[in-house]
Amino acid sequence: MDYLKSEHLKFKRTISNKLIFIVPLITAIFAWIMGGYMGYQYMTLYWWYEFLLPGAIAILCSLSHRKEENAGKYYSVFSMPVNLSRFEFAKGIILVEKLLVSAIFLALLISISNIIAPATAVYSLLHSITGSIGIILASVWQIPLCLYLARKTGMFVPIVLNTILGIVLSTATALGNTIAWWFVPYCWAAKLAEPLMGIEMNGTYAGNCGFSIAIMISISLSILLFLILSYADTKDFSKGR
């Protein structure tokens, strides 16, 4: 708990705390420009997981690393009697928490149309929250990956790499329509949104929302990979490199 409290304090009055609200707001604005009232709700979600979320995760991870670098290149951390593995894992958990806050804020933005133009709304507030949180859970595996890349290569590589792979692989409908999507983590959020939110891989709204085993597979695989990558990341960090 002390490690989590420490990470919470580090996030106070930082650009990272602002980004978790700025990025969903930008997503909603773009979706409204592109889809108007009719497509606003589902296009906000589509733009979120296909285009902006991978970049947002990479930026948050990179900023978290840069904060420690600017404070003394981790010297104070390595020189203190702390569990380095727990220290690094706490960083990932806090980032998951921040993304969940961002997801709820996005759901509230999506639900604005339930008030302004209820005839065009395709999701209830609860449905929007469920979908937004589900998308985050299907994407959390990117956090330890980006933390590792940021520590090893700096800010540029994880931001560019995660954003490009997130856009290219998640929009690959050829992968999404075969069993191969199980083995491509960047497809998991899109495959979850397909049955849960009725959004097809190409971004069109099919409207066939409901439970599917693909939802549980996407979330389970993502959490499992998050734990595996977190273990690898924390072990590497604990070596003090």
pLDDT, tens digit (0-9, with 9 covering 90-100), for 175-206 = 656 777 888 999 999 999 999 999 998 889 98
Buried (b) or exposed (e) across 85-122, using 16+ Cβ within 10 A?
A: bebbbbbbbbbeebbbebbbbbbebbbebbeeeeeebb
For residue 219, the model assigns a pLDDT of: 97
Q: Which tops the pLDDT comparison, 106 or 154?
A: 106
Strand runs labelled E in 52-96: none
Q: Which tops the pLDDT comparison, 170 or 166?
A: 166
CA separation for the pair 109, 112 (Å, rounded): 5
For residue 176, the model assigns a pLDDT of: 59
In this model, does residue 66 exceed pLDDT 70?
yes
Give domain limits for the chain.
Answer: 2-238
In this model, does residue 240 exceed pLDDT 90?
no
Element holding 135 (H helix, E strand): helix 125-137
Q: What is the mean pLDDT of residues 10-16?
A: 80
The answer to whether 57 and 162 have CB atoms below 8 angstroms apart is yes
Around Cβ 73, how many Cβ atoms within 10 Å?
A: 10
CA separation for the pair 172, 184 (Å, rounded): 10
The answer to whether 221 and 134 have CB atoms below 8 angstroms apart is no
Mean pLDDT of the chain: 89
Percent of the chain surpassing pLDDT 90 = 65
Quote the tokens at residue 165.
């792979």
In this model, does residue 174 exceed pLDDT 60?
no
CA separation for the pair 76, 136 (Å, rounded): 32
Q: What is the mean pLDDT of residues 221-240?
A: 94
For residue 76, the model assigns a pLDDT of: 64
Quote the tokens at residue 169.
């692989």
205 has which bridge partners? 199
Torsion sign across C-alpha atoms 225, 76, 70, 13: positive
CA separation for the pair 209, 179 (Å, rounded): 21
Least confident of 11-15, 33-37, 69-73, 161-165: 69-73
For residue 137, the model assigns a pLDDT of: 98
Around Cβ 81, how many Cβ atoms within 10 Å?
A: 4
pLDDT in tens, 71-127: 656 666 766 767 888 889 999 999 999 999 999 999 999 999 999 999 999 999 999
Backbone angles phi, psi at 240, to 5 degrees: 75, 30
Quote the tokens at residue 191.
């495959």
Q: What is the mean pLDDT of residues 225-241?
A: 90
Quote the tokens at residue 145.
């990956």
In this model, does residue 42 exceed pLDDT 60?
yes
